[in-house]
Amino acid sequence: MSSYVLDTHAYLLGVTAPKKLGKDALRILRRIERGEDEGLIPAAVAAEIVMLAELGRTEIGLPELKASVQDTPGLRFLSLDLAQLEVFSGLRNIRDPFDRLIASAALATGSRLITKDSLLSDSGLVDAVW
């Protein structure tokens, strides 16, 4: 079983418009839905989703996020912990705090990152898939 951290964009597209996902990202999310792989939702992704819902940029909020985690066998929340913050402290080149926390989650857990964000995928810091 492989482990993947989902960034905010990947999670929201997976829920609202899966056809807009990259081919590999969609394949992996389907495996997570079946419980064949593990998908991790970092605390930063949950916080960003709350903020995007407050701004009216998504109709997905915390209740929907919680429900999808409960309904999806391979999906779980990832609390922010000291290991992630230790990695975070070394990622000074990533300016966006949410991106930095999400990358830290992937690195601290040894997971691949599902992201379309070229700044993250092209950085060479994380093993990214889309």
pLDDT tens string 13-31: 999 999 999 999 999 999 9
Specify whether the CB–CB gap between 101 and 88 falls below 8 A.
Answer: yes
Confidence of residue 83 (pLDDT cuts 50, 70, 90): very high
Model pTM score: 0.95
Would you state the pLDDT for residue 58? 97
Residue 41's domain comprises 3-129
Specify whether the CB–CB gap between 31 and 23 falls below 8 A.
Answer: no
Overall number of domains in the chain: 1
What CATH number is attached to the domain comprising 80? 3.40.50.1010
